[in-house]
Amino acid sequence: MSDHTHVNRTKLFAVIFAILLGLTILSFGVANSSLMDQPVRGWTAMLVISVAKAILVIVFFMHLKWESNWKFVLTIPAAVMSALLVLVLIPDIGNRTKSYSNDRQKFAAYEVLDVASSSSADQSNDAETLGESSSSKKEASPSVAAAQSAKSNEKITVEKSYDDVPGEWGHLKGRFIASGEIPVRKEIVPDKDKNACELPMYSRDLVVGSDRGIKNIVVFLTKPSTPLAIHPFYDSKMSQPVSLDNQRCRFEPHITLMTTKQILSVKNSDEVGHNANITSFNDPNSHNVGIPAGAHVDVQLPLIETRPITVSCTAHAWMKGYIMVRDEPYMAITSKTGEFEIKYLPAGEWQIQFWHENAGYVKSAVAGGKTITVGRKGLVDVTIKDKEVFDLGQIEIPASDLQAK
């Protein structure tokens, strides 16, 4: 190789290295962008970037660009083996929750039981919290503090007094309303088992009341850097199973809250069979269990989720719900009036997030005339004080931001 050629290739390699560095930075940007709120698009973009980087490395740094054509024949066995490996693994991935290894048996569904023998308590999806949903050492945002203002001493009703519990504990509340034009809910027409279904049936992806209250927004703490203290108010509730029922070909409740220590009891109150296909990037949280009519199956979801994960019935394509799994019980779902409460939070400065199934993390929440959410994950600073209520007040979100894309 001549010195001139060597210099040219050195420059070429420097350019390719710069491109690889740029693609790496781009992949980091995609991983931390709003694209990842939509997993299919986000992971497709990440895969395209990874393939582009691999091609550049193979062609230039592995010198395939300068190899004789006949040497490409040597790559055929590797390509065939790679294709076969993918084809062999696809059925395994698709059936991963139908046949478990011994190591996964502890996360598998338990024996199918009769519904009548279940002691699981039904959940209400009206102003629901686990008890009735990372810590951040920052100053609360001025707009949030203004929204709280005069309402900081307002009381929240609880079943009994916990004044003698050691430590400092406060409460969080607020109400979400939709601004702008409210879209008409779409009617769903079941294509099978109509006699067992709720008719007429309407989409639940955006439910706005006559008072503009937004139902089914999930409010939760960001992942704390250290385990949080749990108030005794939640002790008995965290020891009980959480119920998710199939009723009239719908998942009830539409959104389920649970902690990693609880059992999820998936019931079937219908006269037709269903299945619950729980999909998560955390493999131990993924299950696909069949539930015969009048039966229930218990499953465990031992890992926390950063956002609600989906549960669907592959036998009835319109059936879809969500499950939020956290270590701590400090989360809530808004009621039909848009209201939520989280009781007995540890006193301190925290960050919370809002999530909606169409929007992902809500980033356009306005209170007191100012946007209170920060960043692509819509973080909101709150300060919880002992025996006080931090009231976010009325939180407005444009209805157009919550429509299905």
Cβ(63)–Cβ(56) below 8 Å: no
When pLDDT is averaged across residues 197-210 and rounded to a whole number, the result is: 94
398 and 328 fall within a common domain: yes
Average model confidence (pLDDT) for the chain?
Answer: 81
Return the H-helix or E-strand segment holding 15.
helix 3-31
The 10s digit of each residue's pLDDT in 97-129 is: 444 344 443 343 333 333 333 333 334 445 677
The answer to whether position 105 is within a domain reads: no
Q: Domain total for the chain? A: 2
Neighbouring residues of 90: CB distance < 8 A, sequence distance ≥ 6: none
Q: What is the maximum alpha-carbon separation in the chain? A: 87
* pLDDT confidence of residue 308: 96
- Whether 241 and 203 share a structural domain: yes
Residue 101 domain flag: no
40-66: average pLDDT = 80
Question: Would 100 be classed as within a structural domain?
Answer: no
- Tell me: do 222 and 324 sit in the same domain: yes
The reply to whether 172 and 257 lie within a common domain is: yes
**Pair (306, 187) in one structural domain:** yes
Q: Which of 43-57, 102-116, 140-154, 179-193 has the highest mean pLDDT?
A: 179-193
pLDDT computed for residue 1 by the predictor: 46
Q: Are residues 306 and 387 in the same domain?
A: yes
- 78 and 123 in one domain? no
Q: For residues 125 and 348, give the distance between their C-alpha atoms in angstroms, rounded to a whole number.
A: 28
Range of the domain at 343: 116-402
Model confidence band, residue 72 (pLDDT cutoffs 50, 70, 90): low
Q: What is the pLDDT of residue 279?
A: 95
Q: Please check whether residues 82 and 141 belong to one and the same domain.
A: no
263 and 313 both lie in a single domain: yes
Q: Is residue 110 part of a domain?
A: no
Model pLDDT, residue 268: 96
pLDDT tens figures, 359-383: 999 999 999 999 999 888 899 999 9
What's the CA gap between 137 and 131, in Å, rounded?
Answer: 26
Q: Look up residue 49 and give its DSSP letter.
A: H
Do 197 and 62 belong to one domain? no
Q: Are 301 and 278 in contact (CB under 8 A)?
A: yes
Does any domain span residue 306? yes
Answer whether residue 327 shows pLDDT above 80. Answer: yes
Give a yes or no: residue 64 inside a domain. yes
Of the listed ranges 138-152, 156-170, 186-200, the least confidently predicted one is: 138-152
Q: How confident is the model at residue 74 (pLDDT cuts 50, 70, 90)?
A: low
- Do the domain assignments include residue 107? no
Residues 73, 142: one domain? Answer: no
Residue 103 forms part of a structural domain: no
Q: Please identify, among 34, 60, 94, the residue that sits at the C-terminal boundary of a domain.
A: 94
Q: Which of 37-41, 283-287, 295-299, 396-400 comes out lowest in average pLDDT?
A: 37-41
Give the tens place of pLDDT for each residue, 248-260. Answer: 999 999 999 999 9
Q: Are residues 149 and 182 in the same domain?
A: yes
